């Protein structure tokens, strides 16, 4: 129905209706069903089908046994029956035009775009053989055999058909259908080679089907008397034209698509649109000149993917993926449902038992014979032969589907007298293959013990080895002087690298495009995500616990113990942790540190973001990637570090030294982890002998720097970290018992007065190391071991850290050039603090601890001269979270705290 | 051209895979490479133009002269190889046979992996150390001038860590993973059907395309 109204939806607002042609009275509302009828019906059908899908999947048991396509066909039958009963005539059916123009393209595009291209081209020979020779054989054999059956007088005399009619029918009934194959095989999970052969065949046989169908159709129309020898030649020629032409159209549009996406940097939002639009135009263009449209879209999808994926943004990639899957899936749903609905329309078909049974028998037989014969020939050339079981699955997996149905509906009843018989037979064949074979193929595959696909994520080593393989094989072919498959693949890759990729990919994308790197990058991100996920879990638990934290004891009972249980479960990597028995309180301290760290994570990120606003702000995703990458590397390095420590633990001297250093600024190190790590390990290492031998985290070294400068005052300062909080309570008069529970260690030498009650961390008085053992970073490592237990591996870490820096910088160069600057930047603002320390140690330390308790104004007032340092904003960022932590307690005023703080620092 | 003298043991060695016709072809190729000498030296491989762009060509050519691959008792690097050696190397790339039993397949697989392992283990100590792995990865990635060496290194480090986690699992605190031994190498390859990948079609086809 043509839409007449210019604006408005189904209901036009009253203000818009008074027009010149207004009827007698002004209408308040107008019923415009006719105008929205068509789209409304389409929407309704899609909705019904999608809802049905939800219902099907409510029961796992049903969908695991019955393929979705079967269920949809049955649903269609049911709905068709209802419509038939209500309207007394079958209103809806699968319209060939609609099928070919709207329903088929998304499915083909989806399968082409997500086709594993390497696998596809590795098996292209077999696929082509089955698609071309197999389909030819099937259609001729089926057609002739049926004709024989007819001649033998076994069929109803009403079937008026000659050889040409049967050949025409054979051509449309013998093609394996991509939609049906995909629907069934996706749930079966046979091994990849088998799948790609069956599925590739179903896609590529379209050209053969189209040509045979058209040729025979024209022969039927001409009548057998008027067919000349030249027509046969034309038929053969048109096969090449249709198939190669279709492929060429696909390649052309793939090229265009890749080229266009190269320039969409400023209009990211329409990137996905181009993918769909150009692929669809390719389909239409091929259809327009009656080339094989399926081939066109398939090859467009296969060939453009590499370049398009490299060009478009991550978000667009996701959009493309999901939109494509959604479209394909809904098309498929509608196709199967309408197949069911169409079958109800009895006026269209006439039953003939002999024809139906004969067709069923012949297509199964000839498919099996064809597969066996072709496989026999192919196995002589194939390096991995297809065994008997594979052949059975291939024969049995030859499903027919909607393409056959649409083609048979398209037949002209005037020309093809037996159309109704053919329609009935096609429906039965399609239903039989989809329902019976679809239902039984899964048990069959299990019974035959067909090699299943193992869906494991590619490991880095596998990727590396496969690459090495490709090169080795190409080299051996070169050496032997045999220009085989690997030779040509190698040549193509060189050509692609030299010209095509340069032309079709963005410079930035091209530069970093490398499969190995991609895999590495993805693995890193994946590891990191899982790490962050697991860590995030802990964090969130901690956050939940925070508000309801009136006293430390309750906290320790609820979340902290859980936290510890979790962290305790993992293998403890650190000997130092193992060999001292942790007191409960120390554990709490460690957990508390976790809580704080968890809440400190975000602000840093936010701060980063606002900081880099001065530059081109990087894509959020990229930033996130970077963040994740960093997290990941940090984790790796930390596990690594723990090894390092252990290695060093034998040298007790070095260890003590290190410990002493570490102690100085535990919190700074935690907070600044990402910042300090970027510090190139240059001078920071200066006076630590063992570090030169094998560099460790810079995190450690920054601590050293800190401690180096503040070595003298260390005694006074250390342990201040959480004191601020203690002092609050001191001020409020709740003093000592509470204080003891506070995290962290006030070293005995530094704690006179109220502070000396602190018992737990100071079990062994003079050494700060012991207390430190229990403390955050140690707990941290134990936790890390939990998160990454499978990953915690250690290798001799010659200069991991360098590698880390480098990979970070390379990552940042992906993101945006300014990103690289962040390293030096951070470093710069880490330095002022450090340099100040000698003079104003009492101020520098609070500044570190301020990230936990002190609002920025305190620290600012404490060190007015370093106000300009970028530390300021960060602290402001941190503040909100501090506030949330304090919510549960009596809100303390800044003043007393500051006083206290001063006291503490003067201690 | 007749089959060379050395071919008697070789044919027994390769009887499964290589027909005499193929040996003839290989011999012609051998003579072409060696410029009608009895042996091939490393320099002879420089004359193959297609090999020039192969990023790991050094490693591959090296493998041809590696005595471990030549099934010789001694270790080290051969100066030159004769036709028999050439065939021995080629036999690593033959495809599996339809009628191989499990044991044969296993041996076959190990042989192929050994070849690969030797290629990585350049200092012949039976271990692929991190440094060796890095070298390989660097060479592999050398085809892309935009990827810096550092990223190659971090990739190798990551791969090494992965290897360690696959092979050793959870390591003790002061355990150090020194390198991938052949046993570890086998473990890493468990998921991949090397026998379906490491072969050159030429060695299975009766009709030989003469490309020169």
Nearest Cα residue to A220 out of A163, A173, A172: A163
Q: Is B29 close to A385, i.e. CB distance below 8 A?
A: no
For A443-490, the three-class secondary structure string (H helix, E strand, C coil) is HHHHHHCCCECCCCCCCHHHHHHHHHHHHHHHHHHHHHCCCCHHHHHH
Q: Picking from A482-486, B97-101, B138-142, which range would have the lowest pLDDT averaged per residue?
A: B97-101
Mean pLDDT of chain B: 71
Helix (H) or strand (E) holding B180: strand B180-181
Of A471, A486, A520, which is closest to B55 when you measure between CB atoms? A471
Average pLDDT of A468-477? 80
Which residues in chain A have Cβ-Cβ distances shorter than 8 Å to B19? none
Choose between A333 and A3: higher pLDDT.
A333
A63 Cα to chain B: minimum distance (Å): 30
Residues near A272 by beta carbon (within 8 Å), at least 6 away in sequence = A312, A316, A319, A320, A323
Q: Could you give the angle at the alpha carbon of A628 between the alpha carbons of A625 and A632, nearest 5°?
A: 135
Q: Please give the pLDDT value at position A743.
A: 41
- Tracing tokens 């007015």 back to the chain, one arrives at A864
The answer, yes or no, to whether residue A12 has pLDDT greater than 60, is no
H or E stretch covering A53: helix A33-56
| Residues with Cβ within 8 Å of residue A231, at least 6 apart in sequence | A215, A218, A219, A222
Do B173 and A642 count as a contact with CB atoms less than 8 A apart? yes
Selected residue with higher pLDDT from A787 and A226: A226
Name, of A362-371, A385-394, A595-604, A637-646, the range with top average pLDDT. Answer: A362-371
- Residue B181 forms beta bridges with which residues? B127
pLDDT digits (tens, 9 = 90+) for A32-82: 888 888 889 888 888 988 898 888 888 888 888 888 888 889 998 888 888
Confirm or reject contact between B43 and chain A (CB < 8 A).
no
Q: Is the dihedral of CA B165, B171, B176, B182 positive or negative?
A: negative
Give the integer Cα–Cα distance in Å for A216 and A227: 11
At residue A277 the predicted structure's pLDDT band, cuts being 50, 70 and 90, is very high
CA distance A698 to chain B (A): 17
The strand pair at B39-41 and B80-82 is best described as antiparallel
Q: How far is CA A771 from CA A300, A430, A661, A761, A781, in A?
A: 65, 75, 13, 5, 16
Helix or strand run (H / E) with residue B81:
strand B80-82
Inter-residue contact A867 to A682 (CB < 8 Å):
no
- Between CA A400 and CA A766 the distance in angstroms is 83
Residue A524 with chain B: CB contacts under 8 Å: 158
Distance, in Å, from the CA atom of A261 to the CA atom of A271, rounded to the nearest integer, reads: 7
Cβ atoms within 10 Å of A25's Cβ, excluding its own = 6
Which residues of chain B neighbour A481 with C-beta distances below 8 Å?
29, 32, 211-212
Does A434 or A895 have the greater pLDDT score? A434
* A809 close contact with B: CB closer than 8 A: yes
Higher pLDDT, B65 or A567: B65
pLDDT of residue A282: 94
Shortest Cα distance, chain B CAs vs residue A520, angstroms: 6
- Contact criterion met (CB < 8 Å) for A468 and B56: yes
Contact present, A319 and A386 (Cβ < 8 Å): no
Beta carbons within 8 Å of A275's beta carbon, 6+ residues apart? A113, A257, A261, A304, A308, A312, A320, A324
pLDDT of A176 > 50? The answer is yes
Say if residue A402's pLDDT is above 80: yes
Provide, rounded to the nearest whole percent, the portion of chain A with pLDDT above 70.
53
Give the integer Cα–Cα distance in Å for B107 and B87: 19
Q: In the numeric block, which tokens belong to residue B180?
A: 């991938």
Nearest by CB to A807, which of B144, B154, B176?
Answer: B154
A754 at B interface, C-beta within 8 A: no
Residues of B in contact with A571 (CB under 8 A): 170
A765 by DSSP, 3-state: which? coil
Q: Say yes or no to pLDDT of A238 above 80.
A: yes
**pLDDT value at position A249?**
94
Using CB atoms, pick whichever of A460, A469, A794 lies closest to residue B162: A460
The pLDDT assigned to A62 comes to: 81
Q: What is the Cα gyration radius of chain A?
A: 36
Q: Could you tell me the pLDDT band of residue A633, with boundaries at 50, 70 and 90?
A: low
Query: Which residues in chain A are contacts of B131 at CB distance < 8 A?
Result: 798
Give pLDDT, residue B186: 80
- By the CB < 8 Å criterion, does A644 face chain B? no
- Is the model more confident about A725 or about B98? B98
| pTM flag (> 0.80) | no
Length of chain B: 212
- A510 in contact with chain B, both atoms CB, cutoff 8 A: yes
Are B203 and B95 in contact, with CB atoms under 8 Å apart? yes
d(CA A554, CA A877): 29
Residue A437 has pLDDT above 80, yes or no: yes
What's the confidence (pLDDT) of residue A866? Answer: 40
Strand-pair partners of A239: none
Distance in Å, alpha carbon of B104 to nearest chain A alpha carbon:
16
Q: What are B163-202's pLDDT values in tens digits?
A: 777 777 666 666 667 777 788 778 777 766 666 666 666 5
Highest mean pLDDT among A528-537, A891-900, B61-70: B61-70
Residue B111 is predicted with a pLDDT of 81
- The domain locations on chain B are 17-203
Q: Do B173 and A468 touch (CB under 8 A)?
A: no
Lowest mean pLDDT, pick from A135-144, A259-268, A287-296: A259-268
Q: Which of residues 66-85 of B touch A (CB under 8 A)?
A: none
Chain A residues lying within 8 Å of B48, measured CB to CB: 478-479
Of A460, A478, A485, the CB nearest to B201: A485
Q: Which CATH superfamily is domain B17-203 in?
A: EF-hand (1.10.238.10)
Mean pLDDT score, A682-711: 38
State the residue for tokens 């390293």: A823
The answer to whether residue A806 neighbours chain B at the CB level (below 8 Å) is yes
- pLDDT digit string (tens) for B82-96? 887 887 787 777 766
Closest CB from B45, B147, B157 relative to A803: B157
Sole residue written with tokens 């263009």: A285
pLDDT tens-digit map of A88-118 = 776 777 888 888 999 999 999 998 998 888 8
Is pLDDT at A865 greater than 70 in this prediction? no
Residue A683 has pLDDT above 50, yes or no: no
Query: Which chain A residue is nearest to residue B150, measuring alpha carbons?
Result: A806
> Region A857-873: what's the mean pLDDT?
41
Nearest beta carbon to residue A795 from set B55, B130, B169 = B130
Residue A94's closest CA among A508, A458, A460, A402? A402
Handedness of CA B180, B184, B185, B191 (dihedral sign): negative
What mean pLDDT, rounded, does chain A reach? Answer: 66
| Least CB–CB distance from A793: residue in B130, B155, B161 | B161
**Which residues in chain B touch residue A381, judged by CB atoms under 8 angstroms apart?**
201, 205
pLDDT at A215: 85
CB contact under 8 A, A520 and B154: yes
Least confident of A293-302, A411-420, A480-489: A480-489
Q: Are A324 and A109 in contact (CB under 8 A)?
A: yes
Q: Cβ atoms within 10 A of the Cβ of A35, count?
A: 17
Say whether pLDDT at A264 is over 90: no
Which residue of B147, B157, B176 is in closest CB contact with A800? Answer: B157
The reported pLDDT for the residue numbered A831 is: 39
Determine, for residues A790 and B165 on separate chains, whether the beta-carbon distance falls below 8 Å: yes
Return the pLDDT at A366: 93
pLDDT of residue A880: 43
Q: Report the gap between the CA of B206 and the closest CA in chain A (Å).
A: 10
More confident residue, A556 or A319: A319
* Minimum distance, in Å, between the CA of residue B75 and any CA atom of chain A: 22
> Which chain A residues touch B160 with a CB distance below 8 Å?
795
Give the residue-averaged pLDDT of A305-316: 86
The pLDDT score that the predictor gives to residue B170 is: 64
User: What is the rounded distance in angstroms from the CA atom of residue A630 to the CA atom of residue A799?
Assistant: 17
**Mean pLDDT across A132-161:** 86
Answer yes or no: are the C-beta atoms of A72 and A333 closer than 8 Å: yes
Q: What is the pLDDT of residue A578?
A: 36
Probe site for chain B from A476, A569, A788 (most B CB atoms < 10 A) = A476
Which two tokens mark A395? 């024969």
Which pLDDT tens digit goes with each residue over A825-849?
343 333 343 444 444 444 444 444 3
Mutant choice from B69, B95, B113, B146 vs A, greatest count of A C-beta within 10 A = B146
Classify burial at A16, counting beta carbons within 10 Å of its beta carbon; exposed 0-12, middle 13-18, buried 19 or more.
Answer: exposed
DSSP for A584-613, please give it: HHHHHHHHHHHHHHHHHHHHHHHHHHHHGG
| Phi, psi (degrees; rounded to nearest 5) at B39 | -130, 160
- The nearest CA of chain A is from the CA of B74 a distance in Å of 24
Most confident of A317-326, A404-413, A809-818, A870-879: A317-326
CB pairs under 8 A between A and B: 207
Which residues of chain A are within 8 Å of residue B148 when distances are taken between CB atoms? 806, 810
Higher pLDDT pick, A322 / B140: A322
All structural domains of chain A, each given as residue ranges with its CATH number in brackets, are: 96-448 (1.20.1530.20), 465-523 (no CATH)
Query: A466: which chain B residues are within 8 Å (Cβ-Cβ)?
Result: 192, 197
Report A:517-546 residues touching B (Cβ under 8 A): 517, 520, 523-524
Mean local confidence (pLDDT), A781-793: 39
Predicted pLDDT at A183? 86
Among the partner-chain residues A497, A512, A793, the one whose CB lies closest to the CB of B164 is A793
């Amino acid at each position: 129905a043509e839409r007449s109204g210019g604006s408005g939806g189904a209901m036009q607002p009253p203000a818009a209706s008074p027009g010149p042609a207004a009827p007698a009275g002004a209408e308040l509302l107008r019923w415009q069903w006719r105008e929205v009828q068509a789209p409304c019906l389409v929407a309704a059908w899609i909705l019904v089908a999608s809802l049905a899908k939800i219902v099907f999947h409510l029961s796992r048991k049903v969908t695991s046994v019955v393929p979705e396509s079967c269920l949809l066909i049955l649903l269609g039958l049911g709905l068709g029956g209802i419509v038939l009963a209500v309207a007394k005539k079958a209103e809806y059916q699968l319209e060939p035009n609609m099928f070919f123009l709207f329903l088929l393209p998304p499915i083909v595009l989806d399968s082409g775009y997500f086709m594993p291209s390497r696998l596809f081209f590795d098996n292209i020979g077999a696929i082509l053989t089955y698609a071309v020779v197999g389909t030819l054989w099937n259609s001729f054999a089926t057609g002739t055999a049926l004709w024989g059956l007819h001649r033998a007088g076994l069929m109803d005399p009403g079937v008026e058909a000659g050889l040409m009619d049967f050949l025409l029918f054979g051509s449309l009934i013998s093609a394996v259908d991509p939609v049906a194959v995909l629907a069934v095989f996706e749930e079966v999970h046979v091994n990849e080679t088998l799948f790609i052969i069956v599925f590739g065949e179903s896609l590529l046989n379209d050209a053969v089907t189209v040509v045979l169908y058209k040729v025979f159709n024209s022969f039927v129309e001409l009548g057998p008397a008027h067919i000349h020898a030249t027509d046969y030649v034309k038929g053969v020629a048109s096969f090449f034209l249709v198939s190669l032409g279709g492929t060429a159209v696909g390649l052309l549009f793939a090229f265009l698509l890749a080229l266009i996406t190269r320039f969409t940097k400023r209009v990211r939002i329409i990137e996905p649109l181009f993918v769909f639009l150009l692929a669809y135009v390719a389909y239409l263009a091929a259809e327009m000149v009656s080339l094989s449209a399926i081939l066109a879209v398939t090859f467009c999808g296969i060939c453009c993917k590499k370049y398009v994926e490299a060009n478009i943004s991550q978000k667009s990639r996701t959009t493309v993926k999901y939109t494509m899957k959604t479209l394909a899936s809904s098309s498929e749903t509608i196709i199967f449902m309408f197949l069911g609905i169409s079958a109800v329309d009895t006026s269209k078909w006439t039953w003939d038992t002999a024809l139906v049974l004969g067709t069923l028998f012949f297509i199964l037989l000839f498919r099996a014979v064809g597969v066996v014969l072709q496989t026999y020939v192919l196995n002589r050339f194939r390096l991995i032969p297809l065994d008997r079981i594979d052949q059975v699955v291939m024969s049995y997996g030859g499903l027919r589907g909607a393409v056959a149905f649409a083609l048979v509906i398209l037949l002209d009843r005037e020309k093809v007298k037996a159309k109704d018989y053919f329609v009935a037979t096609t429906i039965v064949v399609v239903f039989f293959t989809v329902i019976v074979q679809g239902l039984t193929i899964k048990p069959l595959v299990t019974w035959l013990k067909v090699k299943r696909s193992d869906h494991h994520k590619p490991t880095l080593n596998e990727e590396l080895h496969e690459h090495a393989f490709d090169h080795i094989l190409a080299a051996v072919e070169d050496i032997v002087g045999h220009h085989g498959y690997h030779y040509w693949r190698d040549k193509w890759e060189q050509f692609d690298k030299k010209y095509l990729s340069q032309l079709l990919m963005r410079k930035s994308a091209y530069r970093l495009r490398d499969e190995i790197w991609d895999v590495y990058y993805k693995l890193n991100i994946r590891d990191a995500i899982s790490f962050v996920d697991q860590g995030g879990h802990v964090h969130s638990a901690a956050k939940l616990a925070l508000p309801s934290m009136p006293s430390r004891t309750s906290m320790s009972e609820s979340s902290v113990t859980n936290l510890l249980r979790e962290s305790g479960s993992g293998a403890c990597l650190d000997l130092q942790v193992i060999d001292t028995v942790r007191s409960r309180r120390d554990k709490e301290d460690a957990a508390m540190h976790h809580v704080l760290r968890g809440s400190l994570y975000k602000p840093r990120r936010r701060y980063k973001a606002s900081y880099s606003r001065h530059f081109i702000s990087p894509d959020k995703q990229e930033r996130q990637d970077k963040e994740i990458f960093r997290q990941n590397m940090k984790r790796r390095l930390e596990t690594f570090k723990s090894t390092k420590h252990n290695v060093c633990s034998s040298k007790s001297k070095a260890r003590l030294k290190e410990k002493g250093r570490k102690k100085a600024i535990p919190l700074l190190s935690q907070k600044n982890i990402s910042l300090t790590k970027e510090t190139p390990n240059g001078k920071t290492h200066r006076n630590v002998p063992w570090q030169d031998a094998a560099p460790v985290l810079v995190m450690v070294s920054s601590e050293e720097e800190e401690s180096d400068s503040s070595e003298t005052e260390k005694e006074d300062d250390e342990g201040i970290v959480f004191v601020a909080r203690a002092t609050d309570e001191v001020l409020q008069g709740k003093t000592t018992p509470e204080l003891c529970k506070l995290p962290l260690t006030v070293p005995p030498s530094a704690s006179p007065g109220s502070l000396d009650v602190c018992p737990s961390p100071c079990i062994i008085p003079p050494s700060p190391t012991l207390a430190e053992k229990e403390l955050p970073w140690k707990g941290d490592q134990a936790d890390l071991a939990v998160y990454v237990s499978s990953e915690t591996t250690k290798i001799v870490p010659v200069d991991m850290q360098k590698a880390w820096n480098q990979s970070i910088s390379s990552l940042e160069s992906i993101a945006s050039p300014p990103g690289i600057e962040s390293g030096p930047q951070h470093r710069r603002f880490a330095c002022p603090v450090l340099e100040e320390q000698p003079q104003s140690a009492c101020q520098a330390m609070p500044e570190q601890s301020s990230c936990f308790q002190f609002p920025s104004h305190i620290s600012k007032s404490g060190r007015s001269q370093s106000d300009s340092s970028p530390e300021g904003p960060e602290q402001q960022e941190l503040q909100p979270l501090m506030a949330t932590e304090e919510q549960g307690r009596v809100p303390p005023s800044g003043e007393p705290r500051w006083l206290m703080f001063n006291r503490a620092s003067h201690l | 051209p007749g089959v060379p003298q050395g071919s008697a043991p070789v044919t027994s060695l390769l009887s499964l895979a290589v027909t005499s016709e193929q040996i003839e072809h290989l011999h012609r190729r051998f003579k072409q490479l060696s410029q009608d000498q009895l042996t091939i030296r490393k320099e002879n491989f420089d004359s193959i133009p297609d090999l020039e762009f192969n990023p790991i060509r050094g490693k591959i050519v090296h493998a041809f002269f590696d005595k471990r691959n030549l099934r010789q008792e001694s270790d080290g690097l051969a100066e030159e190889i004769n036709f028999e050696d050439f065939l021995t190397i080629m036999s690593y790339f033959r495809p599996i046979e339809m009628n191989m039993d499990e044991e044969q397949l296993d041996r076959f697989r190990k042989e192929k992996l050994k070849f690969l392992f030797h290629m990585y283990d350049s200092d012949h100590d039976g271990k692929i150390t991190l440094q060796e792995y890095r070298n390989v990865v660097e060479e592999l990635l050398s085809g892309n001038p935009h990827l810096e060496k550092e990223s190659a290194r971090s990739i190798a480090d990551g791969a090494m860590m992965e290897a360690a986690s696959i092979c050793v699992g959870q390591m003790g605190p002061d355990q150090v993973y020194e390198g991938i031994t052949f046993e570890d190498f086998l473990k890493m390859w468990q998921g991949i059907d090397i026998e379906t990948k490491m072969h050159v079609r030429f060695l299975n086809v009766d009709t030989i395309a003469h490309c020169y």
